[in-house]
Amino acid sequence: MADSKKVIQILRAIGSKIEEEKDYLTKLDQPIGDSDHGINMARGFGEVEKKLDDLADKDIGTILKTVGMTLVSTVGGASGPLYGSAFLKAGMAAAGKTEMNVQDFLEIMDTAIQAVQQRGKAVLDEKTMLDAMIPSLEAMKAEASEDAKTVLKKGVEAAWKGVEHTKDIIATKGRASYLGERSIGHQDPGATSYSYILEVISQQI
């Protein structure tokens, strides 16, 4: 499905996509957050971009761990420790690998999403990125015997469906929880950025 070179290519594409959607992600964060999701994510992935050249000959685990540490150090908002933990744990799950197949990818995603749950102490239906992550992972696991493209396609569909669903949820975690019922109708920025990331992976493989 992907070797180290491909992973780096995907990370570059994720960086471009986040930069492209920076204003939109920040706009989503205005009514229910602290108006910085796009800015923070673009800052973090911008720093990741600078490190990718030096990672070209490294294993996938090292690449992902470096991404995680960079995000933790540079994002500055809640998405820093959340995506940071996800990539760090993903890196541990991919340690030593220079090639991954669909099965490896699903295991890595599983580990990463668990890391987000542990860091944020959130569960499904709290209007967080997990509302896109968990259904997408389940959808991908259900198609695990298919080829990578098909698996990712299902994952992306489920992720965006999850994003739509966040509009109907009252936030009980994060900044949006201060708004209570007033958070209804707004889509979660973190679930949105995750869906872009998965979409980029699906386009690139």
Binding site for other proteins (CB under 8 A): 34, 36, 40, 72-73, 76-82, 84-85, 119-120, 174-175
> Computed over its alpha carbons, how large is the radius of gyration of the chain?
16
> Among residues 34 and 104, whose Cβ is nearest to other proteins?
34
d(CA 104, CA 93) in angstroms, rounded, equals 9
Q: Is 17 or 175 the residue whose CB approaches other proteins more closely?
A: 175
The least CB distance from residue 29 to other proteins, in Å, is 12
**Alpha carbon distances (Å) from 191 to 35, 60, 188:** 15, 25, 5
Beta bridge partners of 83: none
Nearer to other proteins, 36 or 131 (CB): 36
How far apart CA 133 and CA 124 sit, in angstroms, is: 9
Q: Where are the beta strands (DSSP E) in 55-124?
A: 99-100
Closer residue to other proteins (CB): 120 or 155: 120
Q: State which residue, 12 or 175, has the beta carbon closest to other proteins.
A: 175
Alpha-carbon span 70 to 80, nearest angstrom: 9
Q: How far is the CB of 173 from other proteins (least distance, A)?
A: 9
How far is the C-alpha of 157 from the C-alpha of 139, rounded, in Å? 9
Query: What pairing do the DSSP bridges indicate for beta strands 99-100 and 2-3?
Result: antiparallel
The 3-state secondary structure of 18-35, one letter per residue: HHHCHHHHHHHHHHHCCC
